[in-house]
Amino acid sequence: MSTEMAVIFDVDGVLIDSYRPHFESWRMLAAEHGITMTEQQFQSTFGRTSRDIIAHFWGDRIDPAQIPDMDERKEALYRQIIQGNFPAMAGAAELIDALHAAGFRLAVGSSGPPQNVDLTLMLLGRDGRIHARITGADVQRGKPDPQVFLIAADRLGIAPAACAVIEDAPAGIAAARAAGMAAIALTGTADAAGLAEADLVVHSLHDLTPQRIADLIRQRAARPPQR
């Protein structure tokens, strides 16, 4: 298969089932500061940056200058958790291997910290097969802005129309579509109805093959531009 195609993976919810480790790391950080964070409170923070979450829950109890250090502590706790028990998404390693063997260029596009992305790829055992990694340190605008995916395509040297994105969140699907890429949604974080804007919705990474992704990219590129 041609190397003229690329797949860009989101990380959280696509390569790693990170829901529980993120919740546990927030719960641990809160406990260190004498606060209890419930799972309902955690769920209410989806889509917000860590620093916004800290400012929201700690408010006047801390000096704003403390927020960056608390943010770093939270992410360190998260990495400690996944190092002890890495929850790989089913089929992630196998799909990366199959795409690599088929000649696809591969990237990750995440809003997470570089250390989290690097550790995830290392623990997955596939960091050597990812040709470009774009993290929160590389972008000024988060999803649904397409910046993260456009940077990935540029670093891979592949036209956006020849790329597919695998995402688990509506904002990520919107970003992929805005970038002019084929958008593949993986259910879990959101249900199929919430991901209906995707070109393809799957319930497992095992449902994807290099041929299926290549066909989707060609079909998407052949459509007239949306007005």
Q: 10 catalytic, yes or no?
A: yes
Token pair in block for residue 42 = 């955690």
Calculate the CA 43 to chain-centre distance.
17
- Residue-by-residue DSSP string for the chain: --TT-EEEE-SBTTTB--HHHHHHHHHHHHHHTT----HHHHHTTTTS-HHHHHHHHHGGGS-GGGHHHHHHHHHHHHHHHHHHS--BPTTHHHHHHHHHHTT-EEEEE-SS-HHHHHHHHHHHT-GGG-SEEE-TTT-SS-TTSSHHHHHHHHHHT--GGGEEEEESSHHHHHHHHHTT-EEEEESSSS-TGGGTTSSEEES-GGG--HHHHHHHHHHHHHSPPP-
**Which candidate in 10, 17, 168, 199 is catalytic?**
10
Q: 52 catalytic, yes or no?
A: no
- In degrees, rounded to 5, the angle at the alpha carbon of residue 215 between the alpha carbons of residues 8 and 109 is 5
Question: In which residue are the tokens 């209890």 written?
Answer: 36
Q: List the catalytic residues.
A: 10, 12
